[in-house]
A and B are shown apart, each in its own frame.
Chain A
Amino acid sequence: MKERRLSDPGAGSGPLVSLTNDERPGRPRPGLTNAVLGVAGLAAFLALCEAVPRLGIVSAEFFPPASRIARALVTELGDGAFWTALGDTLTGWALGLAIAVTAGILTGVVVSVVPYLREATASTIEFLRPIPSVALIPLAVLLFGTELRSVLLLVVYASFWQVVVQTLYGVQDVDPVAEETARSYGLGTWARIRHVLWPTALPYVMTGVRLAAAVALILAVTAELVIGAPGLGSRIAVAQTSGAVPAMYALVVVTGVLGLLINVGARTVERRALAWHQSVRGEVAV
């Protein structure tokens, strides 16, 4: 609800304020108040970005006012090359995320289900997980140059661990009573994985996927920026080296919006898939 209002400037402060005035005093509606505050905060931030360079506090050359960034953004949106770059970035993001999620879930489930495997792999996972994906950039360049596969390597490495670790936690959360119920009704290993283990782990897996989706975007843009694989990242680098500062900022804004949309999308999927879960269903009057 909040996101929709924020992204809809047409629903300006007029009707919102009149609605809040209809409310009896002492009973504020938190949803509306938050939306108003959110819009006001965003407007203030944009005004600040406009004013600071115009007042000469920072150089407008390196920090152009918001209106110039907005104009540059409109120019970008009219450029076919921009859309190709956007497509490249999203391809790297989506493919990498899909590979990481599939491999992460399978690994997490297998490691938890096979006896002793978790204990045997725990130290290795704890060693590999903290390695920053960007440290693998030289390796990616050596192996794949500036191809999409370079981006994929970094994206998959970074997001894979998010999913694995959450899946491992989720599987551990299986309720012993639920497990015994399933066993007493003769559910075999596969049926227990499908009907007990997987639904129990799903909330954790969803959190892992949401984190992985955000990390995957960061790594996709980083890879393009540093390695020069085609996409928004390399377009940002080109804008910077050619002195097109407003265009550079416009592209940065686009990556930010992408991140926001990905998060909102992931949360929506989460809410749908977990309608039964305590965190989503809220309090139920019985």
Chain B
Amino acid sequence: MTTIDTHSEPVTDTPPGLMRRIIRQRQAKIGLVLTGIVVLVAIVGPLLLPWLTGYTSTEFAGRPFQPGGMFGTDNLGRDILSRFLDGGLTLLVYAALATALGMLLGTVAGMLAAYQGGTLDSIIMRGNDVLLALPQLVFALLAITVLGPQGWVVVLVIGITHAPRIARVTRAAASAVITEDFIRASEMYAVPRWKILLKDVLPNITGPLMVELGLRMTYSIAAIASLSFLGLGMQPPTADWGLMINENRIALTLQPWGVILPVLAIAILTVGSNLITDAVARASATVEESK
């Protein structure tokens, strides 16, 4: 009989991190490029304004829907390109703030519900169900009508309406983690509850939360653009993509760029962030499998 080495250590190499597994996917690269372009335009656009277009936005004042400048003028005779470059940042900032608020509220509520269980769980989740019963946009319309169309109201309302959806996902993901013995171990060492949630539960549910983050970001952009379109988000004379679509749609056949540019930007942004979200979902799913 041939002798065989009886001690064979299994090769344990570090599995590639979540980030690397995301980037490795082609659709993640496409998504990053698409999102990057729009975000870059929104951030850098306002800074480079007169230099980029070669004229100020008041150059064609008083000449609505004229073919002046690169993409024509809007309903008040302002240059469309300048308005477009200027109008993305607020949308993105508001969307990011609303998503962050929703993530914060939802994650905390979901983790608490999963960890505490019992009455608190029932209260949080039934409260969730009530909020979920109201359509997001209708709820937003109601709140804005009552409180007025200010920026913080929009952010608050969109954030709050996101929270129940995020809370459900968080609770489901956290419930699975909470049955694990390392949570029992931390409890045994009397680690404060908030620390258990922060250090033991949260790091183990980042996969599903990242997916949710991407998804909610997309929804926030759409919701804020919709509200602006309806006249309840950004108010004139602010430059804003949602508002631009509304203001310029009456002249769609005459001077289409005023609508097409913001629509294109929002569409590319949404598709891009969805591609990234999918890639994150797939990358975190492979973690679960290999576990």
Asked if A and B bind, the verdict is: no
What is A's interface to B at a CB cutoff of 8 Å? Answer: none
